[in-house]
């Protein structure tokens, strides 16, 4: 906080919040940013133009590339082994060869497997899904699977969303004369294992639009190239549908070809010819609603993921490849039941975990490490993420693996690197892996105390550093009166949202709390008024009993709520704080400034009592001082206007 060009309103949040993040308001935009005038003709409201400029889209050409990305370039020029893989699969299709698609049990892995099973089956091969058990086999291809498949006459394997780290399994395949095509997006090892062909984003040229592909994206590249050579429109269509589901479910970055293909595929997903997708929509209550990225992420993907966590992934593969509507409905009901079970398990484990943390009162550890032998491995990652959201601390939940070992899922707030923390504990762990936000490990029971002590030391150092500031960072100010269906339509033009292009976080100031209601499940519902405009706001899983001030500033995502045939806009709250009336404190670098609004003037006073005044209005800021044109002074007033909600 206090970085150059940024000003922060000192944190003011209700004492009832489980965490008290500061608000980091966006840097004020320069009045004449390069290319800014060209944005005016795009038909977007000022808050959305401000948001895009802050994300780096400073010209009309850049925004147009976001709204309508260029077509995907020829993948053969980006993936060196693509031609080898396609030719081998063409031979398998021509000869009706039996082969195995070796996937993973998360949504990316299951949709990747279904994509290739469906396309290759349609084109004449005899593919079968081979997905390891989460509980019995662990992640990825293993030597036992290779031996079993080879014994059944399989001479060709295609891995999806795994395989690049399975050296032992691939060496065993080589010994048995089994050819392997690896498609994977996990970290490349220093030396490649034996394989026939590799499709991996890291093998593409620097800056390639294929760099952000998830496992399902790589499976789509392979299936698309094969289907185009075979001139099969149906295979292309089913592959694109499953690409959309898997890419959103895996939270792949929505840039490059990911964005282009999602924009092509999402509009037709509602009428997908796949009976499995139709059955999932029906059970998710999406019959009347459009199937956009939000619906896929929050309604479809959890039902698929629940199977990989609690059931047999083959269920999802069959659901997404069957041609029989009745069978698809039966399988979708099985997914629904597992998803209900997943919710119940998560709620029960979360309640138990919260009780364990809260029993420590204010003496809780900086790194929350909780272990219960009966917790289910398949859902502890979800619960760990909920606890991070609630307590604002890194969390590891451990469940018994048997033979004196425990397996953990780790989640952490932004700024705490999970992978680095686990690497620093390598000598205490049986195995570990992950990335900055999430990971997992296995540890012997007698080493848990020493592990917790070391993780606490790391978390304590993080909490005492600037990196630990959990700031809420709204991107643009918007009055409630501007939040109408026209504005919502403009927001939709920027979709789909996801990693690298997140859902816009807006903020609005001086909102009166007209009503508040505690909903079942720990949700808070508010009715907010600003002038003549009244809107409903929902805060998911905030829990507790709230005593709110009369006026609040709110940070929120805008949503269209559909209920019993009615549609209305509502705010999905990320945070709120008491409004600052007409005065506030700004901190810029190591300096503090007291800002007040006096009719049509902004007044800024420093610690020595010196004042600067500026006359402000729509698109106008006139500093009444000889140094008024100094960049620091103008930036300070621009930040003050933003903080008071006088500018987007």
The pLDDT score that the predictor gives to residue 123 is 96
402 and 541, same structural domain? Answer: no
Question: Quick one: three-class SS letters along 606-627?
Answer: CCCCCEEEEEEECCEEEECCCC
Is the model more confident about 19 or about 432? 432
Rounded mean pLDDT, 479-493: 94
pLDDT at residue 19 is higher than 60: no
Is the model more confident about 348 or about 628? 348
DSSP secondary structure, 216-241, as one string: HHHHHHHHHHHHHHHT-HHHHHHHHH
List the domain range (segments joined by +) for residue 122.
75-338
Question: Are 129 and 113 contacting, i.e. CB atoms less than 8 angstroms apart?
Answer: yes
Is the model more confident about 628 or about 256? 256
CATH code for the domain in which residue 213 is found: 3.90.1640.30
Q: Which two tokens stand for residue 507?
A: 């903020």
CATH code for the domain in which residue 420 is found: 3.10.310.30
590 and 482, same structural domain? Answer: no
Residue 53 lies in a domain: no
The pLDDT score that the predictor gives to residue 118 is 96
Residue that finishes a domain, picked among 422, 442, 468? 468
Residue 344 lies in a domain: no
535 and 413, same structural domain? Answer: no
User: Is the four-CA dihedral 441, 105, 153, 196 of positive or negative sign?
Assistant: negative
**Alpha-carbon span 514 to 8, nearest angstrom:** 28
pLDDT at residue 414 is higher than 60: yes
Residue 38 lies in a domain: no
Residue that finishes a domain, picked among 425, 451, 468? 468
Number of domains making up the chain? 4
Residue that finishes a domain, picked among 550, 578, 606? 578
pLDDT digits (tens, 9 = 90+) for 101-141: 999 888 888 999 999 999 999 999 999 999 876 656 566 78
Q: Is the pTM of this model over 0.85?
A: no
The lowest-confidence range among 115-129, 194-208, 220-234, 487-501 is 487-501
The pLDDT > 90 percentage for the chain reads 56
Strand bridging mode 156-160 / 179-183: parallel
The pLDDT score that the predictor gives to residue 12 is 32
Residue 3 pLDDT grade (very low, low, confident, very high; cuts 50, 70, 90): very low
The lowest-confidence range among 85-94, 136-145, 170-179 is 136-145
DSSP secondary structure, 46-97, as one string: HHHHHHHHHTT--SHHHHHHHHSPPPPP-GGGT-TTHHHHHHHHHHHHHHT-
pLDDT at residue 309 is higher than 80: yes
pLDDT digits (tens, 9 = 90+) for 367-402: 999 999 999 988 999 999 999 988 889 999 999 988
282 and 164, same structural domain? Answer: yes
| Beta-bridge mates of residue 181 | 158, 197
pLDDT at residue 292 is higher than 80: yes
The pLDDT score that the predictor gives to residue 583 is 67
pLDDT at residue 9 is higher than 50: no
Rounded mean pLDDT, 458-483: 82
The pLDDT score that the predictor gives to residue 10 is 34
CATH code for the domain in which residue 514 is found: 2.40.50.460
Strand bridging mode 179-183 / 197-199: parallel
**Alpha-carbon span 149 to 225, nearest angstrom:** 26
589 and 561, same structural domain? Answer: no
- Measured in degrees and rounded to the nearest 5, phi and psi for residue 346 equal -60, -45
Number of C-beta neighbours around residue 436 at 10 A: 14
Rounded mean pLDDT, 598-619: 75
556 and 460, same structural domain? Answer: no
pLDDT at residue 11 is higher than 50: no
When the pLDDT of each residue in the chain is averaged and rounded to a whole number, the result is 86
Q: At what angle do helices 301-310 and 275-283 cross, to 10 degrees?
A: 100
**Alpha-carbon span 132 to 415, nearest angstrom:** 33
Q: Which of 507, 635, 485, 476 is nearest to 52 (CA)?
A: 476
The pLDDT score that the predictor gives to residue 578 is 84
570 and 589, same structural domain? Answer: no
Residue 545 lies in a domain: yes
The pLDDT score that the predictor gives to residue 469 is 54
Three-point CA angle 315, 138, 447, nearest 5°:
145
Residue 348 lies in a domain: no
Residues in the chain: 648
Rounded mean pLDDT, 312-341: 95
pLDDT at residue 6 is higher than 80: no
Rounded mean pLDDT, 407-419: 91
261 and 248, same structural domain? Answer: yes
Number of C-beta neighbours around residue 314 at 10 A: 17
Residue 346 lies in a domain: no
pLDDT at residue 619 is higher than 90: no
Residue 185 lies in a domain: yes
pLDDT at residue 35 is higher than 50: no
Strand bridging mode 431-435 / 438-444: antiparallel
Three-point CA angle 581, 646, 491, nearest 5°:
115
Residue 44 lies in a domain: no
229 and 117, same structural domain? Answer: yes
The pLDDT score that the predictor gives to residue 621 is 65
pLDDT digits (tens, 9 = 90+) for 178-206: 999 999 988 888 899 999 999 999 999 99
143 and 241, same structural domain? Answer: yes
462 and 562, same structural domain? Answer: no
394 and 269, same structural domain? Answer: no
- No. of helices (H) and no. of strands (E), the chain: 19, 22
Question: Are 429 and 422 contacting, i.e. CB atoms less than 8 angstroms apart?
Answer: yes
- Measured in degrees and rounded to the nearest 5, phi and psi for residue 629 equal -90, 0
Strand bridging mode 566-578 / 551-563: antiparallel
Three-point CA angle 280, 273, 249, nearest 5°:
45
pLDDT at residue 293 is higher than 60: yes
Which residue in this structure is represented by tokens 């800014």? Answer: 36
């Amino acid at each position: 906080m206090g970085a150059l060009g940024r000003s922060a309103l000192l944190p003011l949040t209700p004492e009832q919040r489980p965490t008290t993040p500061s608000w980091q308001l966006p840097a004020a935009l320069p009045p004449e940013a390069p290319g800014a005038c060209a944005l005016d003709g795009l038909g977007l409201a000022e808050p959305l133009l401000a948001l895009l400029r802050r994300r780096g889209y400073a010209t009309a050409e850049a925004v147009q590339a976001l709204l309508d990305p260029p077509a995907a370039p020829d993948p053969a020029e980006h993936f060196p082994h693509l031609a080898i893989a396609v030719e081998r699969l063409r031979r398998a299709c021509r000869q009706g060869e039996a082969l195995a698609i070796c996937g993973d049990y998360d949504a990316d892995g299951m949709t990747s497997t279904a994509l290739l099973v469906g396309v290759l089956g349609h084109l004449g091969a005899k593919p079968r899904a081979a997905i390891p058990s989460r509980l019995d086999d662990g992640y990825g291809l293993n030597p036992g699977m290779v031996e079993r498949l080879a014994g059944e006459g399989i001479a060709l394997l295609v891995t999806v969303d795994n395989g690049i780290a399975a050296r032992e399994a691939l060496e065993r395949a080589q010994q048995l004369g089994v050819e392997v095509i690896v498609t994977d997006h996990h970290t490349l090892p220093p030396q490649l294992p034996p394989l026939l062909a590799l499709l991996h984003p890291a093998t593409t040229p620097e800056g390639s639009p294929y760099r952000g592909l998830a496992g399902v994206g790589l499976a789509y590249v392979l299936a698309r190239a094969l289907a185009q050579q075979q001139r099969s429109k149906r295979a292309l269509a089913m592959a694109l549908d499953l690409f959309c589901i898997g890419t959103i479910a895996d939270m792949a970055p929505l840039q490059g070809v990911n964005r282009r293909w999602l924009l092509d595929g999402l509009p037709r997903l509602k009428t997908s010819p796949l009976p499995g997708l139709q059955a999932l929509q029906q059970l998710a209550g999406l019959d009347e609603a459009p199937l956009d990225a939000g619906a896929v992420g929050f309604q479809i993907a959890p039902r698929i993921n629940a199977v990989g966590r609690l059931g047999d992934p083959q269920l999802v593969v069959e659901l997404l490849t069957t041609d029989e509507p009745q069978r698809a409905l039966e399988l979708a009901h099985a997914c629904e039941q597992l998803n209900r079970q997943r919710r119940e398990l998560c709620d029960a484990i979360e309640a138990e975990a919260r009780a364990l943390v809260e029993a420590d009162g204010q003496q809780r550890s900086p790194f929350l490490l909780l272990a219960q032998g009966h917790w289910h491995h398949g859902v502890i990652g979800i619960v760990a993420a909920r606890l991070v959201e609630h307590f604002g601390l890194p969390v590891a939940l451990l469940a018994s693996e048997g033979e004196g070992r425990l397996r953990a899922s780790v989640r952490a707030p932004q700024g705490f690197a999970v992978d680095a923390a686990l690497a620093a504990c390598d000598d205490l762990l049986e195995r570990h892996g992950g990335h900055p936000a999430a990971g997992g490990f296995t540890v012997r029971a007698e080493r848990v105390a020493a592990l917790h002590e070391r993780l606490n030391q790391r978390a304590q150092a993080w909490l005492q550093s600037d990196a630990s500031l959990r700031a809420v960072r709204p991107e643009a100010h918007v009055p409630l009166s501007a939040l109408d269906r026209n504005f919502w339509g403009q927001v939709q033009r920027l979709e789909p949202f996801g990693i690298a292009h997140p859902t816009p976080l807006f903020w609005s100031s001086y909102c009166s709390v007209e009503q508040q209601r505690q909903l079942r499940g720990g949700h808070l519902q508010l009715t907010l008024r600003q002038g003549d405009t009244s809107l409903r706001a929902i805060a998911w899983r905030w829990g507790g009993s709230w005593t709110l001030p009369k006026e609040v500033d709110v940070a929120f995502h805008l949503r269209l709520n559909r209920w019993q045939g009615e549609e209305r806009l509502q705010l999905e709250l990320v945070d709120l704080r008491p409004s600052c009336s007409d005065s506030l404190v700004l901190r810029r670098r190591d300096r503090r400034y007291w800002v007040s609004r006096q009719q049509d003037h902004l007044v800024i006073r420093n610690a020595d009592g010196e004042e600067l005044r500026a006359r402000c209005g729509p698109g106008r800021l006139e500093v009444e001082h000889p140094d008024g044109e100094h960049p620091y002074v103008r930036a300070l007033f621009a930040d003050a206007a933003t903080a008071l909600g006088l500018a987007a």
